[in-house]
Amino acid sequence: MSVLSNHMPTAELQALDAAHHMHPFTTNDELAEKGARIITRAKGVFLTDSEGNEILDAMAGLWCVNIGYGRPEMAEVAARQMMELPYYNTFFMTTHVPAIALAQEIAKLAPEGLNHVFFAGSGSEANDTNIRMVRTYWAEKGKPAKSHIISRKNAYHGSSVGSGSLGGMAYMHAQGGLPIPGIHHINQPDWWAEGGDMTPEEFGLARAEELEAKILELGEDNVAAFIAEPIQGAGGVVIPPQTYWPEIQRICDAYEILLIADEVICGFGRTGNWFGSQTMGIRPHIMTIAKGLSSGYQPIGGSIVCDEVAQVIGATEFNHGYTYSGHPVAAAVALENLRILQEEKLVDRVRDVGGPALKAGLESLNDHPLVGGISIKGMMASIPLTPHKESRAKFATDAGTVGYMCRERCFANNLVMRHVGDRMIISPPLVIELDEIDLLISRAKKALDETYAQLKDQDLL
Ligand code: PMP
């Protein structure tokens, strides 16, 4: 067996990686040519790579490392649980304390009436559960035709066949035969990109009303559920205008449509409340969770289910589940994560300290010639780039060219910021300190300046 280590030359590890490892959402030939960046360790909000660079991770991994990297308590809990009970399943009338304790704690933190948890290994799996659960719910209620699910374009709900179909990413649907039948996508409430001359309020209402139109088109007796992220994450941190969610809630109530809030990113403090549904003032029947549930220290996700749906599902055998549903080590680690979030009052900290500081810092970039106005809620933010702020114009280059350029300049300045098209997105660990926010902003500014200079050089402005 080969023994690799962080001390091996970067090029050697890159060559082996390219030879054997297929990466998600990557053109692997391009990666083989350029060589992947190798992350060797991490602490707090900083990653270290194989060249010794200290990189500020303004994305918390993939929006998940809420409590920051390198928490010894998490490792201790995992080791203890592995010694005591490394695995047992929760099928066939069995259970174990980590799954019980985690479900109880989640029910305590979730909004009123959401008291039941079905565990999964990831957000994608949890959304697959949701598809089957809402359809089973209506079938058990004697309305099997209520099976269609409405989602939105540019939503992200995962990468499995089911969850990828729920998502509204055209480039994902272009591969592998997605979406599966019975899933419909309405337009998203992205005022910045699609609002034209409407006010945000008018636009929010217009986009919400598309849900009503779609329900009427499909027939209310055929629609099971509407699924949405309270704030779209992977779609570019799209914070809907304030008119949007109240209207969606009204429509779901009026037509007896189950509302599924995908809280995979928004959950566990990201928006300054425990759940994005609280921040946006909605009352979902089911919430999808993952990521911040364990701060990414173990793979775990789930569906938090309201009493009514759980009661109906509970009356029949729900023929669904995963080998790792409620995995004891993942559950114990998630529980420790929830303890840390509560003990360190990290959700309050996002609302009262970190979020406002990040907002002030990002708003200081508003006069930058490329910045088209900051959107931020809690610790979830986007910086749309534009050649012309007032008209929110797009660049003449292919969409995403400038965003990619800026992301590369961020990397070069030891900052991880992602780009979605020409929009930069930010979602740091919730523990980020004020001086680290200053550092984030100064590196972001430098990256923006360099992007601007590069665009000028190449006559792209
Ligand atoms: N839902 C949302 C809102 C997400 O952001 C993601 C992941 N980015 C998922 C679901 C899928 O989660 P996973 O990658 O854990 O399957």
DSSP notation for 222-247: GEEEEEE-SSBSTTT-B---TTHHHH
Confidence at residue 254, expressed as pLDDT on a 0 to 100 scale: 98
**Helical segments of 289-327, H only:** 307-314
Q: What is the 368 CA–ligand 1 centroid distance (Å)?
A: 32
Compute the distance between CA of residue 71 and CA of residue 90 in angstroms, rounded to an integer.
28
Q: Is 378 among the domain residues?
A: yes
Do 301 and 360 have their domain in common? no
Residue labelled with tokens 């590196």: 443
Which of 298, 317, 343 is at the close of a domain?
Answer: 343
Do 323 and 421 have their domain in common? no
Do 100 and 188 have their domain in common? yes
Do 363 and 332 have their domain in common? no
Compute the distance between CA of residue 239 and CA of residue 241 in angstroms, rounded to an integer.
7
Domain that residue 126 falls in: 73-343
Confidence at residue 112, expressed as pLDDT on a 0 to 100 scale: 97
Closest residue CA from atom 1 of ligand 1: 157
Do 41 and 100 have their domain in common? no
Of 287, 291, 293, which is best to mutate to test ligand 1, by the most ligand atoms within 8 angstroms of its C-beta?
291
Do 270 and 373 have their domain in common? no
Phi, psi of 212 (to 5 degrees): -60, -45
Q: Is 152 among the domain residues?
A: yes
Q: What is the 131 CA–ligand 1 centroid distance (Å)?
A: 15
Q: What is the 396 CA–ligand 1 centroid distance (Å)?
A: 31
The H-or-E segment that residue 381 falls in is strand 380-384
The total of other beta-carbon atoms located within 10 Å of residue 51's CB is 9
Question: What size, in residues, is the chain?
Answer: 461
Confidence at residue 1, expressed as pLDDT on a 0 to 100 scale: 73
Do 84 and 225 have their domain in common? yes
- Of ligand 1's atoms, which has the minimum distance to the CA of residue 160? 16
Q: Is 79 among the domain residues?
A: yes
Do 61 and 122 have their domain in common? no
Do 366 and 338 have their domain in common? no
Do 283 and 175 have their domain in common? yes
Ligand 1, pocket residues at CB < 6 Å? 62, 122-124, 127, 156-158, 229, 233-234, 262, 264-265, 290, 301
Confidence at residue 205, expressed as pLDDT on a 0 to 100 scale: 98
Confidence at residue 2, expressed as pLDDT on a 0 to 100 scale: 73
Residues in the chain predicted with pLDDT less than 50, given as ranges, are none
- Rounded to 5°, the CA angle 184-189-191 comes to 145
| CATH number for the domain that contains residue 400 | 3.90.1150.10
| CATH number for the domain that contains residue 274 | 3.40.640.10
Closest CA to 268 of 404, 402, 419, 106: 106
Which of 292, 315, 343 is at the close of a domain?
Answer: 343
Of 129, 161, 265, which is best to mutate to test ligand 1, by the most ligand atoms within 8 angstroms of its C-beta?
265
For β-strands 148-152 and 223-228, DSSP reports them as: parallel
Q: What is the 198 CA–ligand 1 centroid distance (Å)?
A: 31
pLDDT digits (tens, 9 = 90+) for 74-125: 999 999 999 999 999 999 999 999 999 999 999 999 999 999 999 999 999 9
Please state the domain count of the chain: 2
Q: Is 26 among the domain residues?
A: no
Q: Are 261 and 230 in contact (CB under 8 A)?
A: yes
Q: Is 174 among the domain residues?
A: yes
Q: Are 237 and 425 in contact (CB under 8 A)?
A: yes
Confidence at residue 60, expressed as pLDDT on a 0 to 100 scale: 98
Confidence at residue 378, expressed as pLDDT on a 0 to 100 scale: 98
**How much is the ipTM here?**
0.99
Q: Is 19 among the domain residues?
A: no
Q: Is 417 among the domain residues?
A: yes
Q: What is the 157 CA–ligand 1 centroid distance (Å)?
A: 5
Q: Are 88 and 94 in contact (CB under 8 A)?
A: yes
Q: What is the 156 CA–ligand 1 centroid distance (Å)?
A: 7
Q: What is the 302 CA–ligand 1 centroid distance (Å)?
A: 11
For β-strands 148-152 and 183-186, DSSP reports them as: parallel
The two tokens of residue 289 are 């969770």
Which of 318, 343, 368 is at the close of a domain?
Answer: 343
Q: pTM of the entire structure?
A: 0.98
Closest CA to 127 of 59, 62, 183, 88: 183
Beta bridge partners of 136: none
Do 316 and 361 have their domain in common? no
> Going by C-beta distance under 8 Å and a sequence separation of 6 or more, which residues neighbour residue 38?
6, 10, 13, 14, 17, 49, 50
Question: What is the torsional sign of CA 109, 110, 113, 116?
Answer: negative
For β-strands 375-377 and 54-57, DSSP reports them as: unpaired
288 SS3 class: strand
Confidence at residue 321, expressed as pLDDT on a 0 to 100 scale: 98
Confidence at residue 461, expressed as pLDDT on a 0 to 100 scale: 85
Do 58 and 126 have their domain in common? no
The two tokens of residue 424 are 């930069």
Q: Are 190 and 220 in contact (CB under 8 A)?
A: no
